[in-house]
């Protein structure tokens, strides 16, 4: 008998999704209730994960197809918390567009469920199942504001391209299955020796699929359009939560079955990383829409996270996890600011709309200033430490080229972050925005800004949390 | 002594800034805000004087060392001072209150934000001068970009955006390579603690590249020719107080870095690259002096003269002679006082006439005599007249260079003449001559606060000019020990 307690978070979440669906179908005007229930469910699930699984030593369930260890539990908790925060701050936005419906929280919950399955997967089939569950929910979320052309376009684009990448990924899975005779990560690892070159094809196909999900260059084309078209709260979800899960799978997939083929895939990762960092930095310069700019900046940040993965050591993996965590925090703050740019029931998302913000909204622009400098990686803010650990891991492996290119692209990237600061602080001011905001929006902005600002006082805490991740 | 005096020096301005942050800025309480900032910075100055009194001049060991675990098994927060760094801390705490007094006339908007930026800047700069860990040093070194960017960008002149960006990106680009070098050092030696690194030395195989990485950062910050172009722009556009901070303290971080890290950690590489430094310094001295000669904007002229003066500093540092390095440090201190004063002098006339162009002025000697006297004093100090602190520094540097390389010394001495030419010509065109522009007649002489600031800067300039002993006493032992260490490591090839 399997120890079902270890998958209790997933079981609990899937049962609650079904319950919420039924509740929503039968009870009229229940969107507020379901919204609140989903919030508490996310917290409960996170608590269950924390209580039941975080202290457990590595355990495999269901014919070794699901793995529960510290790494997966930690990533699940981060995913759940990030989803919780996204959900809390999106309610006002949804109400403005009159799309505050029961489907929204349920879709978010199901995509989170898919991510949790992905994170725990130790088998290609389980992994693919989780991936598709989260992607399907995401397609619908992208089109959630269906009366707007942009949103529908975004959803359709995302669907078509994502389906293509899933196809490639599946093809890679079948190649690997064909050459090793198994879909289980551990069994694949034992079959590596004989078919090294053939397997590389499979790895490449799967990496393409994963790079698409995480929007690494050269598979990033969908990101700017989808991010721009989707409702802002969904964009926030896109930039944060799926990336956590995809990065986890990236790490698990490369390091568990294919660690011995590191020479084959390390070059690919270095390329993905360098291309993403450079492209993210350069392409963001010309943007005039804030959401598009965030899309390019997130491409760049993924590049840094991948640099940690490319290092091929536990330190590298830990730094990459740390990077994505801090990135999530910064993005949360950034989007909270974006959601505050509201006047007469209309949201503003052009760069010029920030013009002279510091005059009318000193606190908002100060927070945004801190977040932007942190995104640019200027010490002593949290973003610097994130980059610092990644480059430490990279330099430890003597990958100087990667480190130097990465650091030089931070200088290029600093330019467009500075441009936003310039617009806020140096330019003439425009009309005032609304000053009344929901509690959670203010809370997430304040919390993320303060954490970013004082991170340097307690830098060891996060290091300790991730230092227990030992994949290799 | 368990009182963490250095941490207090770093933290105190930030606490003052925090206090200002929570005080609402209105028209009425601008005075209060200013007094709070002034009070904080003066307390900090007194604290640093106390530090100087307690400081033991007879040893080259680091004193007042504080060490705390910051990141487990990786970085310690470690601060301490020796004879070299203590003077820079004094300079910082001395200049900051003067900057705060000077905002009276020049800063018209967002006063409290400006003072917050200045105070935070002070924290970071003191941090740079007393950190004894490479990562902590880098943190403070880079963090200073944020307040300075805002100071130039928000309160600057017409082309402030361009200048602020140029300043930020130039210095950031220079510094990122240093970060790579610091991490590499960590993996080579297992520590980033400067004291430990002094003891163990760094593998000679890597020294050249590491030296170049540090050099790229310091050269931009110094600034050395040919990466000096951000400085004139930043100076011209920055508000007076910003220019003062930039010239007096920010530029010194690089000179300090050369002495502390390039010489201290990479002696073998420093030996190899000395000709490079000599060449660049000499070019900087001659080339930028000629450029300064042709400037029509007073601030730009002084900015170019700063580049030339910093050229002497780098020249002196890499002579690896007692006199050379002593001279460099005194030159930096003196330049800190004199350049600050000159920028303030420009600020004074700018506040009255709203023009920095030299040809706006002329013949103001009889209208504002007090100003003309003080301006003359600082002009003479800038060209290194005996009896001013500028002379002591330049003389010692040239002496050091003469011992090391005759040709370089001769060329560098030529720079002194050109320096005298552009400074005196500037003074002549601004102060003497016929009074053509009749608007100038309405100019009022220095008010009390301006007079106070300029006198505060004039006194040490003259005092150390006649009696540089307190400065030399403080740095002597540390420098001779540094040179001994340098030669010892060079002989042992580590």
Q: What is the pLDDT along chain B (494 residues), one digit of tens a residue?
A: 568 888 888 888 888 888 888 876 666 677 788 888 889 999 999 999 998 888 888 888 888 888 888 887 788 888 888 888 888 999 999 999 988 888 876 777 788 888 889 999 999 999 999 899 999 999 999 998 899 998 888 888 788 888 889 889 988 988 888 998 999 999 888 888 888 888 888 888 888 899 999 999 999 988 888 888 888 888 888 888 888 888 888 888 989 999 989 888 888 888 889 899 899 999 989 999 999 888 888 888 899 998 998 999 999 999 888 888 999 999 999 999 999 999 988 888 888 888 888 888 888 888 888 888 888 999 998 888 888 888 888 899 999 898 888 888 888 888 888 988 988 988 888 888 787 777 777 878 888 888 888 898 899 999 988 888 888 888 888 888 888 888 888 887 65
pLDDT of residue A107: 92
pLDDT of residue B54: 87
Between A195 and A291, the higher pLDDT residue: A291
pLDDT of residue A4: 81
- pLDDT over 90 at A273, yes or no: yes
Say whether residue B162 is in contact with chain A using an 8 A CB cutoff: no
Longest distance between any two alpha carbons in chain B, whole Å: 69
- Run of H or E residues at B443: none
Cβ-Cβ contacts under 8 Å, A388 against chain B: 135, 179, 183
Q: Are A464 and B145 an interchain contact pair (Cβ–Cβ within 8 Å)?
A: no
A194 band by pLDDT with thresholds 50, 70 and 90: low
Q: Name the residue of chain B whose CA is nearest to A409's CA.
A: B173
Helix (H, G, I), strand (E, B), or coil: what is residue B149? helix
Q: Are B172 and A460 an interchain contact pair (Cβ–Cβ within 8 Å)?
A: no
Name the residue among A408, A425, A460 with its Cβ closest to that of B153. Answer: A425
Question: What is the per-residue pLDDT across B185-236, written as a single tens digit (0 to 9) for each?
Answer: 998 888 888 888 888 888 888 888 999 999 999 999 888 888 888 888 888 8
Q: Are A379 and B154 an interchain contact pair (Cβ–Cβ within 8 Å)?
A: no
Q: What is the predicted ipTM? A: 0.90
Residues 396-435 of chain A with CB under 8 A from chain B are 396, 400, 403-404, 407-408, 410-411, 414-415, 418, 421-422, 425-426
Mean pLDDT of all residues belonging to chain B: 87
Alpha-carbon distance A291 to nearest alpha carbon in chain B (angstroms): 23
Q: Name the residue of chain A whose CA is nearest to B173's CA.
A: A411
Closest C-alpha to A317, from A238, A376, A237, A255: A255
Q: Are B71 and A463 an interchain contact pair (Cβ–Cβ within 8 Å)?
A: yes
What's the CA gap between B456 and A6, in Å, rounded?
A: 72
Query: Could you tell me which residues are beta bridge partners of residue B297?
Result: B357
Alpha-carbon distance A313 to nearest alpha carbon in chain B (angstroms): 15
pLDDT of residue A168: 92
**Cα Rg for chain B, rounded, in angstroms?**
22
- When mean pLDDT is compared across A132-141, A188-197, B317-326, B371-380, the lowest value belongs to A188-197
pLDDT of residue A195: 65
Every domain of chain A and the residues it spans: 258-472
Q: Are B139 and A422 an interchain contact pair (Cβ–Cβ within 8 Å)?
A: no
Cα angle value B85/B88/B89 (rounded, 5°): 90
Residues 341-400 of chain A with CB under 8 A from chain B are 373, 378-380, 384, 388, 391-392, 395-396, 400
Question: What is the per-residue pLDDT across A63-78, written as a single tens digit (0 to 9) for each?
Answer: 888 988 888 889 999 9
- When mean pLDDT is compared across A58-62, A251-255, B53-57, B102-106, the lowest value belongs to B102-106
Cβ-Cβ contacts under 8 Å, A403 against chain B: 180, 183
Cβ-Cβ contacts under 8 Å, B152 against chain A: none
Q: CB of A77 within 8 A of CB of A48?
A: no
Find the DSSP H helices in B62-159. 83-106, 111-130, 134-143, 145-155
Pairing verdict, β A342-343 and A346-347: antiparallel
A279 band by pLDDT with thresholds 50, 70 and 90: very high
Question: What is the per-residue pLDDT across B271-295, written as a single tens digit (0 to 9) for each?
Answer: 889 899 899 999 989 999 999 888 8
Domain that holds residue B327: 5-492
What's the CA gap between A316 and A467, in Å, rounded?
A: 11
Q: Which residues of A424-433 are buried (b: 16+ CB within 10 A; e: fewer)?
A: bbbbeebeeb
- When mean pLDDT is compared across A10-24, A408-422, B10-24, B134-148, the lowest value belongs to B10-24
Phi, psi of A429 (to 5 degrees): -85, 155
Alpha-carbon distance B290 to nearest alpha carbon in chain A (angstroms): 32
pLDDT of residue A199: 84
pLDDT of residue A133: 92
Name the residue among B71, B138, B168 with its Cβ closest to that of A460. Answer: B71
pLDDT of residue A109: 92
Say whether residue A170 is in contact with chain B using an 8 A CB cutoff: no
pLDDT of residue B25: 62
SS (H, E, C) chain A: CCCHHHHHHHHHHHHHHHHHHHHHHHCCCCHHHHHHHHHHHHHHHHHHHHHHHCCCCCEEECCCCEEECHHHHHHHHHHHHHHHHHHHHHHHHHHHCCCCCCHHHHHHHHHHHHHHHHHHECEHHHHHHHHHHHHHHHHHHHCCCCCCHHHHHHHHHHHHHHHHHHHHHHHHHHHHHHHHCCCEHHHHHHCCHHHHHHHHHHHHHHHHHHHHHHCCCCCCCHHHHHHHHCCHHHHHHHHHHHHHHHHHHHHHHHHCCCHHHHHHHHHHHHHHHHHHHHHHHHHHHHCCEHHHHHHHHHHHHHHHHHHHHHCCCHHHHHHHHHHHHHHHHHHHHHHHHHHHCEECCEECCEHHHHCCHHHHCHHHHHHHHHHHHHHHCCCCCHHHHHHHHHHHHHHHCCCHHHHHHHHHHHHHHHHHHHHHHHHHHHCCCCCCCCCCCCHHHHHHHHHHHHHHHHHHHCHHHHHHHHCCCCCC
CA distances from A250 to A54, A299, A465, B16, B474 (A): 21, 16, 20, 47, 57
Taking residues A108-122, report their average pLDDT: 92
Name the residue among B72, B139, B177 with its Cβ closest to that of A379. Answer: B139
Mind giving me the DSSP string for B329-361? HHHHHHHHHHHHHHHHHHHHHHHHHS--BGGG-
Q: Are A407 and B72 an interchain contact pair (Cβ–Cβ within 8 Å)?
A: no
Question: What is the per-residue pLDDT across A336-352, written as a single tens digit (0 to 9) for each?
Answer: 988 888 888 888 888 88
pLDDT of residue A275: 93
Residues 70-89 of chain B with CB under 8 A from chain A are 70-72, 74
Q: Are A378 and B139 an interchain contact pair (Cβ–Cβ within 8 Å)?
A: no
- Number of domains forming the structure of chain B: 1
What's the CA gap between A252 and A249, in Å, rounded?
A: 5
Closest C-alpha to A325, from A305, A310, A296: A305
Taking residues A266-270, report their average pLDDT: 90
pLDDT of residue B67: 85
What's the CA gap between A45 and A36, in Å, rounded?
A: 14
Say whether residue B42 is in contact with chain A using an 8 A CB cutoff: no
């Amino acid at each position: 008998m399997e120890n079902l307690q270890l998958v209790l978070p997933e079981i609990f979440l899937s049962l609650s999704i079904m319950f919420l669906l039924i509740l929503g179908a039968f009870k009229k005007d229940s969107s507020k209730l379901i919204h609140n229930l989903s919030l508490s469910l996310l917290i409960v699930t996170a608590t269950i994960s924390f209580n039941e699984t975080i202290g457990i030593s590595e355990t495999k369930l269901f014919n070794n197809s699901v793995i529960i260890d510290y790494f997966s539990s930690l990533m699940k908790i981060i995913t759940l918390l990030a989803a919780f925060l996204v959900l809390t701050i999106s309610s006002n936005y949804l109400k403005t567009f009159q799309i505050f419906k029961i489907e929204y929280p349920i879709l978010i919950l199901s995509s989170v469920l898919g991510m949790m399955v992905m994170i725990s997967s130790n088998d290609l089939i389980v992994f693919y199942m989780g991936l598709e569950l989260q992607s399907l929910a995401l397609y619908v979320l992208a089109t959630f504001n269906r009366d707007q052309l942009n949103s529908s376009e975004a959803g359709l684009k995302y669907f078509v391209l994502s389906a293509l990448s899933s196809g490639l990924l599946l093809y890679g899975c079948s190649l690997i299955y064909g050459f090793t005779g198994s879909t289980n990560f551990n069994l694949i690892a034992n079959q590596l020796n004989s078919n090294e070159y053939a397997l590389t094809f499979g790895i490449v196909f799967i990496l393409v699929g994963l790079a698409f999900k995480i929007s690494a260059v050269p598979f990033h084309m969908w990101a700017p359009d989808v991010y721009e078209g989707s409702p802002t709260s969904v964009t926030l979800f896109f930039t944060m939560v799926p990336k956590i899960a995809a990065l986890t799978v990236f790490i698990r997939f490369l390091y568990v079955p294919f660690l011995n083929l590191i020479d084959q895939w390390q070059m690919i990762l270095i390329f993905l990383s360098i291309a993403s960092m450079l492209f993210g930095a350069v392409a963001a310069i010309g943007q005039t829409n804030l959401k598009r700019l965030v899309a390019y900046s997130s491409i760049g940040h993924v590049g840094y996270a991948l640099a940690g993965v490319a290092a091929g050591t536990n330190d590298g993996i830990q730094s990459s996890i740390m990077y994505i965590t801090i990135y999530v925090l910064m993005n949360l703050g950034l989007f909270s600011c974006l959601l505050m740019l509201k006047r007469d029931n209309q949201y503003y998302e052009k760069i010029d709309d920030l013009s002279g913000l510091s005059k009318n909204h000193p606190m908002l622009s100060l927070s945004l200033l801190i977040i932007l400098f942190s995104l640019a990686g200027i010490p002593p803010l949290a973003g610097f430490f994130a980059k610092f650990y990644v480059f430490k891991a990279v330099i430890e492996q003597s990958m100087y080229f990667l480190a130097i290119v990465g650091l030089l692209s931070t200088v290029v990237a600093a330019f467009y972050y500075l441009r936003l600061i310039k617009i806020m602080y140096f330019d003439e001011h425009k009309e005032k925005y609304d000053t009344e905001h929901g509690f959670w929006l203010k809370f997430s902005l304040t919390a993320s800004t303060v954490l970013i600002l004082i991170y340097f006082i307690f830098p060891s805490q996060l290091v300790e949390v991730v230092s227990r991740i030992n994949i290799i | 002594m368990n009182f963490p005096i250095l941490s207090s020096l770093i933290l105190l301005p930030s606490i003052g800034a925090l206090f200002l942050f929570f005080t609402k800025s209105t028209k009425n309480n601008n005075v209060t805000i200013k007094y709070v900032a002034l009070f904080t910075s003066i307390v900090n100055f007194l604290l640093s004087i106390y530090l100087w009194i307690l400081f033991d001049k007879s040893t080259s060991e680091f004193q007042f060392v504080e060490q705390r675990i910051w990141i487990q098994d990786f970085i310690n927060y470690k601060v301490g001072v020796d004879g070299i760094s203590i003077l820079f801390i004094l300079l910082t705490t001395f200049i900051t209150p003067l900057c705060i007094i000077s905002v009276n006339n020049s800063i018209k908007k967002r006063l409290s934000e400006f003072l917050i930026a200045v105070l935070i800047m002070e924290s970071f700069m003191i941090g740079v001068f007393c950190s004894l860990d490479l990562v902590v040093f880098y943190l403070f070194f880079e963090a200073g970009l944020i307040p300075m960017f805002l100071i130039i960008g928000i309160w600057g002149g017409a082309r402030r955006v361009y200048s602020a960006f140029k300043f930020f990106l130039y210095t950031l680009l220079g510094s990122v390579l240093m970060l790579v070098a610091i991490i590499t050092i960590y993996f080579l030696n297992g520590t980033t603690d400067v004291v430990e690194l002094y003891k163990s030395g760094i593998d000679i195989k890597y020294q050249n590249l590491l030296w170049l990485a540090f050099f790229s950062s310091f050269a931009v910050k110094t600034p050395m020719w040919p990466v000096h172009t951000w400085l004139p722009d930043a100076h011209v556009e920055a508000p007076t107080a910003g220019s003062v901070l930039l010239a007096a303290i920010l530029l010194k971080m690089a000179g300090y870095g050369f002495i502390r890290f390039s010489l201290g950690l990479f002696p073998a590489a420093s030996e190899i690259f000395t000709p490079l430094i000599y060449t660049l310094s000499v070019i900087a001295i001659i080339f930028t002096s000629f450029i300064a000669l042709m400037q029509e904007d007073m601030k730009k002229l002084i900015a170019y003269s700063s580049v030339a003066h910093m050229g002497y500093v780098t020249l002196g540092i890499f002579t690896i002679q007692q006199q050379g390095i002593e001279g460099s440090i005194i030159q930096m201190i003196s330049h800190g006082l004199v350049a600050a004063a000159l920028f303030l002098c420009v600020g004074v006339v700018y506040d009255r006439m709203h023009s920095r162009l030299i040809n706006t002025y002329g013949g103001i000697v009889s209208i504002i005599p007090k100003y003309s006297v003080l301006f003359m004093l600082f002009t003479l100090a800038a060209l290194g007249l005996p009896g001013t602190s500028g002379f002591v520094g330049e003389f010692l540097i040239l002496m050091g260079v003469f011992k090391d390389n005759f040709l370089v010394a001769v060329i560098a001495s030529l720079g002194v003449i050109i320096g005298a030419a552009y400074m005196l010509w500037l003074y002549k065109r601004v102060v003497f001559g016929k009074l053509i522009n009749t608007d100038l007649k309405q100019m009022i002489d220095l008010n009390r606060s301006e007079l106070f600031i300029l006198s505060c800067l004039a006194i040490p300039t003259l005092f150390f000019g006649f009696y540089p002993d307190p400065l030399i006493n403080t740095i002597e032992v540390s420098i001779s020990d540094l040179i001994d260490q340098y030669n010892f490591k060079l002989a042992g090839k580590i």
